[in-house]
């Protein structure tokens, strides 16, 4: 396959992602995309606890689903909590594919942000392993990560086509980018084989975003890898979220 045709093949698979630009500080318990600090949590809903131990879960991040162009318009907000206490006790890397996952060491829920839904005003109820960040977003068109190419497409890569200096270089081919840091939407930066969670009613879940190894350097959920966040589409009558963790 010629380099021009190869570039065309990949460009046809490109999706719009929103690169997270992190600014230290907490905007407060608002229904906005943010990391750490005080979550927006609806009044009247009990805060999540670890089903294995009963610990209150620590707030990690929340993402407004309409910030993902593939999901917009969508009034949902995905909220991610994780059991830092279990992490300290040696129960590492909960997630859908992790043996500890079914024990409930994490919680992902989709809430509606519509009028009349108030925050519980409780702030952060458990210490987190990451500092708070305000988030702004920068749109980038990206191609899938290497793991999504499939064997047939990998075999046709023109010799010397890649311009990436290392595995974390986002400029993978001339004029083609894959964002390998924290982001909303687009394609997951798989460091192992792709692992898309599924919903019994809606099939493959939608990729909402990822939190990278640097953001999670003090947390086992992304030590040397990523926390990938997924959610059911808005057409699903009982929406849920799911967590996948991969490390290098």
Range 110-143 burial, b when 16+ CB lie within 10 A, else e? bbebeeebebbeeebbbebbbebbbbebeebebb
Please state, rounded to an integer, the average pLDDT across all residues of the chain. 87
d(CA 195, CA 161): 27
- Could you tell me where the DSSP H helices lie in the chain? 3-11, 84-88, 151-155
Residues 6+ apart with CB under 8 A from 108: 78, 79, 80, 81, 229, 230, 231, 240, 241, 242, 243
Please give the residue range of the domain that contains residue 217: 3-247
Q: Pick the closest to residue 215 from 58, 68, 23 (CA basis).
A: 23
Beta-bridge mates of residue 108: 80
What count of other Cβ atoms lies within 10 Å of the Cβ of residue 165?
Answer: 8
| Structural domain total, the chain | 1
Per-residue pLDDT, 60:
95
The CATH number of the domain where 41 resides is what?
Answer: 2.30.320.10
**Percentage of residues of the chain with pLDDT beyond 70:** 94
Per-residue pLDDT, 6:
75
- For 194-234, how does the pLDDT look when each residue is reduced to its tens digit (9 = 90+)? 999 988 887 889 999 999 988 877 877 777 789 999 999 88
Per-residue pLDDT, 139:
96
pLDDT band of residue 1 (cuts 50, 70, 90) is low
**Percentage of residues of the chain with pLDDT beyond 90:** 48
């Amino acid at each position: 396959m010629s380099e021009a045709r190869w570039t065309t093949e990949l460009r046809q698979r490109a999706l719009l992602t929103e690169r997270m630009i992190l600014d230290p500080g907490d905007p407060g318990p608002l229904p906005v995309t943010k990391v750490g600090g005080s979550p927006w949590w609806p009044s009247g809903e009990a805060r999540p606890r670890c089903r294995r131990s009963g610990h209150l879960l620590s707030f990690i991040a929340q993402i407004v689903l309409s910030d993902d162009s593939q999901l917009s318009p969508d009034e949902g907000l995905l909220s991610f909590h994780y059991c830092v206490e279990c992490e300290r006790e040696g129960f590492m890397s909960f997630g859908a594919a992790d043996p500890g996952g079914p024990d409930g060491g994490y919680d992902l829920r989709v809430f509606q942000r519509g009028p009349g839904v108030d925050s519980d005003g409780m702030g952060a109820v458990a210490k987190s392993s990451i500092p708070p960040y305000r988030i702004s977003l920068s749109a980038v068109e990206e191609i899938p990560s290497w793991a999504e190419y499939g064997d047939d497409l990998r075999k046709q890569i023109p010799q010397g086509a890649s311009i990436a200096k290392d595995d974390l270089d986002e400029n993978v081919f001339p004029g083609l980018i894959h964002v390998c840091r924290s982001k909303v939407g687009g394609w997951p930066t798989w460091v192992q084989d792709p692992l898309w969670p599924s919903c019994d009613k809606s099939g493959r879940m939608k990729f909402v975003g990822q939190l990278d190894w640097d953001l999670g350097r003090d947390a086992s959920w992304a030590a040397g890898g990523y926390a990938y966040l997924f959610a059911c589409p808005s057409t699903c009558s009982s929406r849920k979220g799911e967590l996948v963790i991969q490390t290098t």
